[in-house]
């Protein structure tokens, strides 16, 4: 979803997104082989047609040169595994967010003016509400793109009408109680594809009370 900019982009490792990963999408049980669901709940999601459809949706685009959502999710899951000193409980939360956060992009309304009630993050939240009451998982999933939007707003001299709900202050009101979880997922999500690193660096500089993390190599 991120448009191209002149800001820093992550250095892509030569082994990132290897061709054998892409070939998995042509095999039986392709999604399971690629994403390796770990719990009964995760395995149940893979039986749902709308969930599978969403993971297979997507074409290469700015921010997501990998194309299909499943390949992006694999990168996010790999980043989660690189988070140092990650608790079992937070890892489970991050996996649920990762597996669902972009999976309903195919159902998003992108007409103008934008109907934010049909944003893919909110659609993903409604999906998750059928399976969990974990408020932090629901809130982070719904607002996972809002740090990027807040960065965009921060670069504007005046906040335009309709954008007040996309500020960092508004995001803090929504997820301030679980900001470490939000930040950890935001970093794992940002360090994928060819996304600009500028929003993450800005977030780390401007949000207090979070423990900054470096993903292990």
Percent of the chain with pLDDT over 70: 82
pLDDT of residue 101: 98
CA 37/CA 130 separation, integer angstroms: 18
pLDDT of residue 23: 60
pLDDT of residue 25: 64
CA 17/CA 66 separation, integer angstroms: 8
CA 81, chain centre distance (Å): 15
Q: What is the dihedral of CA 58, 14, 88, 143, to 10 degrees?
A: -40
Q: Which residues contact 127 (CB under 8 A, 6 or more apart)?
A: 51, 100, 103, 104
Cβ-count burial 91-122 (b if 16+ within 10 Å, e if not): ebbbbbbbbbbbbbbbebeeeeeeeeeebbbb
CB atoms near residue 25 (< 10 Å): 16
pLDDT tens, position by position, 113-172 = 777 788 999 999 999 999 999 999 999 999 999 999 999 998 875 555 455 668 999 999
For the cut 60, the answer to whether the pLDDT of residue 13 exceeds it is no
Q: What are phi and psi of 64, to 5 degrees?
A: -135, 70
Percent of the chain with pLDDT over 90: 69
Angle between helices 49-56 and 69-80 (to 10 degrees): 90
pLDDT of residue 9: 38
pLDDT of residue 2: 32
CA 10/CA 193 separation, integer angstroms: 8
The answer to which of 8-22, 38-52, 96-110 has the lowest mean pLDDT is 8-22
Place 111 in a pLDDT band, splitting at 50, 70 and 90. Answer: confident
User: Which is more confidently placed, 8 or 178?
Assistant: 178
pLDDT of residue 15: 43
User: Which is more confidently placed, 160 or 38?
Assistant: 38
CA dihedral for 189, 59, 55, 82, sign (positive or negative): negative
Mean pLDDT of the chain: 86
Give the residues across from 64 on adjacent strands.
61
pLDDT of residue 66: 80
CA 80/CA 187 separation, integer angstroms: 9
Quick check: 102 and 73 in contact, CB under 8 A? yes
Which structure tokens are listed for 39? 């719990």
Which structure tokens are listed for 78? 């790999």
The answer to which of 21-25, 141-145, 164-168, 201-205 has the lowest mean pLDDT is 21-25
pLDDT of residue 73: 97
pLDDT tens, position by position, 53-85 = 999 998 887 767 887 999 999 999 999 999 999
pLDDT of residue 10: 40
């Amino acid at each position: 979803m991120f448009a191209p900019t002149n800001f820093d982009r992550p250095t892509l490792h030569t082994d990132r997104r290897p061709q054998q990963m892409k070939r998995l999408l042509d095999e039986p049980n392709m999604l399971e082989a690629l994403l390796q669901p770990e719990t009964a709940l995760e395995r149940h999601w893979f039986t749902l047609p709308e969930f599978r459809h969403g993971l297979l949706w997507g074409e290469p685009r700015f921010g997501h040169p990998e194309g299909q959502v499943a390949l992006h999710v694999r990168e996010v899951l790999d980043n989660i595994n690189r988070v140092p000193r990650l608790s079992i409980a937070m890892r489970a939360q991050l996996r649920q967010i990762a597996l669902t956060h972009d999976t309903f992009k195919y159902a998003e309304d992108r007409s103008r003016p934008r109907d934010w009630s049909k944003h893919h993050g909110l659609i993903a939240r409604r999906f998750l509400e059928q399976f969990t009451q974990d408020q932090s998982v629901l809130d982070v999933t719904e607002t996972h793109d809002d740090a990027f939007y807040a960065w965009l707003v921060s670069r504007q001299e005046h906040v335009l009408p309709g954008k007040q709900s996309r500020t960092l202050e508004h995001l803090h009101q929504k997820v301030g109680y679980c900001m470490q979880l939000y930040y950890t997922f935001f970093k794992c999500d940002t360090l994928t594809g060819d996304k600009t690193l500028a929003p993450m660096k800005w977030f780390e500089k401007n949000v207090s009370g979070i423990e900054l993390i470096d993903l292990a190599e």
